[in-house]
Structures are given as structure tokens and as C-alpha cells.
Structure 1
Amino acid sequence: TMSLDPSSLSNEENSQEPKRNTECLESLELETPSSFQDHPLQQLQLASQEVLEKAKKSGRSKCPRCSSSRMFYCYTCFVPVETVPNKEIPTVKLPLKIDIIKHPNETDGKSTAVHAKLLAPDDVTIYKYPCIPEYEESRHEIALIFPGPNSVSVKDIPFHLQKYTKKGICGNDDDCSRDPFIKKAKIEPNEEEKNLNECISSNRGEGSGLKKIIFIDSTWNQTNKIITDERLQGLLQIELKTRKTCFWRHQKGKPETYLSTIEAIYYFLVDYHQEVLKENYKGQYDNLLFFFSFMYTLVQNAKCCAGKQ
């Protein structure tokens, strides 16, 4: 995968003749494969990225809090740099609170989790493992994004989350396994489908009872340490639909369906909006990819100029 250093890209562009830049951009438009032209990032309804264009041209800038030299934003303080005014960064209001649990070995500068905190600051909290909250008391309104044998789809959240109510199956820890799937009553397929439809219908006006969703920010090889933590046991697990990643730091040896953290958050919210809230999606969360889409374009342009496209 290609490592993105926006400042080096900017310096490289400045050192080249204008003609070379023009030819490169023209060739990008002419020779771009159809898969890129039809890319989902091309269809996003985004706020103006002019502020990022200006910041790219001016190069690295200081973080207003720690004074570190950064490009676009400080990934340790979760704030834009001085050349990127806060008022020019879009703010996204989310229907749920999001906790991101970050593996301690995950490189701050390479993680996309910070994008969520920058763009939805009121609804996103980032924790560095092992310093994470206790979720047991509120597990009836929390879900964890992670594929596994007990994972359910987004559209089935209302049906499965009702089993986690305080007075539900696992209300008494003395009488119940921590895994709520073990003691659920056997339900005939037709009856389960009927219950699912009734539950979705009754929750249509008030969401699903879900108030918080947890994401793990880690390479897949590092995930096991976090997912096996006792504080995350017994939570409803959600598996996302299969989608291809656009991340330029794709993990070697892993399928293209392994999404970056910000992609996973975005796609979950789009599915939740349509399949659980039952509302038309009109780009409400597209700005979560404000930084991601801009950096993606930078990488594509750099590959083009380097003859790698």
C-alpha cells in the first residue's frame, strides 16, 4: 500500500513545471479506469473542500493545542491545524453515539478514526485500549461492529436488541450466561420472522432502542486482544454488508472488503438510516468522508504522476 504524506505531495507538485501538472491531471481524467469513475466516493454530497486545497498548497501547519507540525489536522489532539479554520470544516450530527476503541499499537497518523472525531465531535469518543468503559449496565442499548458466528445484520438490530433489555433474558447475572445467545428460547422460523417484523414495526418511530455503537480501530491481526476483553463480552455484534474499501493503506494479504474505520462508520450509519430508521438517505452522513475522500484523490493523483495508475 502507498503511504500518504500530503506535505511531500505538495512539495513535489511545487517543484514540477505547471505543464507537467496539467498533463498529469488531464491524463487522470482521460485514462482513469471506469471503476474509479463509478466509485462511490464520486457520488458523495460533500461540503466545499477548498479549505483543504489551500492547506495542501501552504504545507504543514501548527496544531493550535500542542504546536506539533501537521497536515490538515492533529491526529493526537483531534483538532484541525491553524490553516484549516474550524468554521470551514463540516459538522455531522449522528443518530447514535459512537465509541471507537483504538489498539495501542495502531499508528495515530495512519488511523482514519480521527476523521470521525473531527467531523462529529459531539457524538464520537475515542478510547485507547485498555482504557475503555464498562458496558455491562447498558448493553441493552449498545452494539459492537464485529463479524463473527453470532453477528447479525443491521436490519435485524431491533429484533435482537430486545433480548438485552434490563428485564429480559439476561437481567439476572446469577441465572444467566454472559452470552445472551445461549439461553434464548427456540423459535420456529416463521414465528421468528413474524416477531422480527413486529419488532421493527413497533420501533420504526423511535429507532431500535440502540443508543451507542462501538467500533474497533485496529489492524485485523491485532483485533483479537480487544474483542476477547471481558468488558465487551455479551454485547450484540453487528456484521456490515460486504463493500470494497477505498483505503490507500490496504492491509497486505487481506481482502478488499476489509474497510478502514471511517468507512465502516459511514456505511453502518447509511444502512442504519435506511433499514432501521426507515428513512430515505439524502447524504446526511456523507461529510464523514470529507477528509477521507480528499486524501483518496491526492493519492490517486500522486499515483498518476508517478506512473503507477
Structure 2
Amino acid sequence: MSSLDHDQRLHPSCRDKTTVTSDSSDAHELAKQPLQGLKLASHAVLEEAQQKGRLKCSKCGGSRMFFCYTCCSLVGVTPQDIPLIKLPVKIDIIKHPNETDGKSTAIHAKILAPSDVNIYTYPCIPDYEKEKMVLVFPGPGAVSVQDMMQCLHHQSDSKSSYTFNEPRIKRLKTEEVQGATHTAENPESGTPDGAEGLESRVFPLQRVVFIDSTWNQTNKISTDERLQELLRVELKMRKTCFWRHQKGKPDTYLATIEAIYYFLKDFHEHCLAQEYKGEYDNILFFYSYLHSVVNKAKTSAKKC
């Protein structure tokens, strides 16, 4: 269990309320700082950048702090100052055209994991192979991360069975089949056993799709026919810590960066079958810092 999970267990709503326990002072502190204890890179660089104030983006000229959400580039900090994260799967984020860039947390993922994250503005959606992709979005028929791989394997097996029964234009020669088998069994083929084991656990999942918009805007994207056939995955037990909580929506409706973090954590534990040791905590690098800044501002406002 990560510290974030522990904090949410003590305080499910993850907002500034007091939880009644035998140690009220500790519980109150955890309730106020639900993101504390994650394995994060130092926030000192963000504190220094905040003291300098907003700066102009070198690309678009917009006034920004930390990064430009329009150009997906850093402002006031260098790439060496922030963590660079390698993800176990590729991530696509489909962004609603009316989503306010400055309020979106999707940009955090793109900046922190640039080689593994792509952001598309709806109606632009890539062509997806449904047997190799999942859509992280709640709704009827959505499965948990724990059940996701089994469902994908079932889809893949069904497609393979269908393809196998189709007439083949040309059958492989016997020597070709034997050669392929020999290569696969050759211990000097150059493929580490660990890599083969990893591939067998994650195949056929290639890419994970997230929707970035307000919850009132999600219907248009989620019902798009290009996403309809993707297996849906729901993070049913997670609670949001987002300071822009949408009125009338349950606290299980996560901010985009929260959904990405929880998916990666569950994927690591349940699909890769490895103990989670904070490998992807830094995906919350900007989010956790902004969360603390907002909480401090709220606290100061109450004292005035």
C-alpha cells in the first residue's frame, strides 16, 4: 500500500475535513496533506521558480509558471530539474476542445513522461486495434485493472481462433516453422528471460486511452464510435484529491493525472505482478506541489 492509499483509507474524501480517530492530531494532519509520503523528486526547484513568478513562454509568449500548457514546454525550469519517467505502457489522452488548458492536469503526464504520452484534441482520435487497447473510463461493462488482462487475452484468443479458421493463402514451409521454433528456444537468441516474462504478462496491451475534459463534457468523447469497441477499465475504489472538485459529481471522479497514476500503480501490482515501490509516484510531481500550494492558500484565507 502506498502512502497515498494509506492517507485515503484514513480520510476517504481526501479533502480538508477532520477524521475522528484515537490520534486526532495525526489524522487531521494526514487529512490536510493526503499526498504526503510519496517518493517524489525534490520540489525545491518549483519553490524557487514560484518565487521568481510567472515568465513568458519562449515559444508562444504566454505568461506561465513551471510549464506552458499550450506548447507542452517547461518555463522557468530545465529538463534536468524535473524527473523523467519511463512508463510500462503507452498512454494516449483525448482532450475535449473546450477543456481549459490551464486547468487540465493532462499536460503533467506529457511533460514528465514525454516519450510515452501523447495528447490529441477531439475529434482527432488515432485508429485503435481494440484487442490491444483499453479506455480508462467508468460506465456499464467496465472492468477492474485486475480483470483487464484476462479480458484482453480472451479478445485476442477469439480473434486468433477466427483467423486460424480462415483459409490461408500460403502455408509456411516446414523448415521455416522449424527455424522459427529453434530461434525461440535458442538460449543465445539475445532475448533475456525476464523480458520474455514481462512480454507474456502485458501482451496484448499496447496502449491505454484516457479522456481529458470536465465530467459534463465527457459524453461526446466516450460515446464516439471509434472508442466504443475498446475495453473499458474503471478505477472504482479511488478517491479524488483535486482542488477543483466538480459540484454534484462523486469523489470517485478523478482528475486525469490521478487516473493515470492509479492505473499505473494497479497495473504494476496486478498485471506485472510486482511489488509497488513508488516507481510512478513522480507522475504526481507537479500535481502534489500544486495541491500543497492550494491548501496553504486556503489555510491562509481562513486565518484572515
TM over 0.5: yes
Cα distance between partner residues in 2 of 1:66 and 1:171: 51
| TM-superposition CA deviations, 1:47-86 (whole Å, max 9, x none) | 01111001100000121222221011100111110x2111
| Cα separation, 1, equivalents of 2:259 and 2:282 | 14
Work out whether residues 52 and 72 of structure 1, in 8 Å CA contact, stay in contact via their aligned partners in 2: yes
Counterpart of 1:290 (choices 273, 277, 285) is 285
- AA matched with 1:43: G
Structure 1 residue 128 corresponds to structure 2 residue 121: yes
| TM-score under structure 1 length normalisation | 0.75
1:67-78 to structure 2, matched below 5 A, reads: 67-78=61-72
Structure 1 position 234, deviation (Å): 1.0
Identity of aligned residues (%): 57
State how 1:1-309 maps to structure 2 within 5 Å.
Answer: 33-36=28-31, 39=34, 41-81=35-75, 83-135=76-128, 138-165=129-156, 168=159, 206-209=200-203, 210-307=205-302
Q: Which amino acid in 1 is paired with 2:270? A: E
Other structure's SS at 2:154 match = helix
The answer on whether the counterparts of 1:165 and 1:171 sit within 8 Å (CA) in structure 2 is no
TM-score by length of 2: 0.76
Change in 2 beyond 3 A, CA 1:157/1:54: same
* Letter aligned with residue 212 of structure 2: D
**Aligned 8 A contact 2:202 2:271 in 1:** yes
How far apart, CA to CA, are the structure 1 residues paired with 2:197 and 2:226? 28
1:96-143 CA distances to partner (integer Å, 9 max, x unpaired)?
0000000111100000000000100000000000011111xx221100
Contact 2:106 2:256 in 1 (8 A): yes
Structure 1 residue 165 displacement after superposition: 2.1
RMSD (Å), alpha carbons: 2.4
The answer as to whether partners of 1:204 and 1:278 remain within 8 angstroms in 2 is no
Q: What is the distance in 2 between the residues matched to 1:308 and 1:249?
A: 21
User: Per the alignment, do residues 275 and 59 of structure 1 end up closer, same or farther by CA in structure 2, a change over 3 Å counting?
Assistant: same
For residues 130 and 197 of structure 2, the distance between their equivalents in structure 1, rounded to whole angstroms, comes to 18
Tell me which amino acid in the other structure corresponds to 1:163: H
AA aligned to 2:107 is V
Give the C-alpha shift of residue 208 in structure 1. Answer: 2.8
Q: Which blocks of at least 5 consecutive residues in structure 2 are unaligned?
A: 1-24, 164-195
Greater mean deviation of Cα atoms: 236-245 or 71-80: 236-245
With over 3 angstroms needed to count, the CA separation of the structure-2 counterparts of 1:279 and 1:31, relative to structure 1, is closer
* Residues 124/219 of structure 1: CA separation in 2 closer, same or farther (3 Å cut): same
SS of the equivalent of 1:283 reads: coil
- CA contact under 8 A between 1:204 and 1:276: conserved in structure 2? no
User: Structure 2: how far apart are the matches of 1:211 and 1:275?
Assistant: 16
3-state secondary structure, aligned to 2:51: helix
Hey, what's the Cα distance between the residues in 1 that align with 2:83 and 2:133?
A: 27
Q: Which runs of 5+ in 1 are unaligned?
A: 1-29, 173-201
Distance between the aligned counterparts of 1:100 and 1:229, measured in 2?
14
Shift of 1:43: 1.6
What amino acid is the match of 2:289? Answer: F
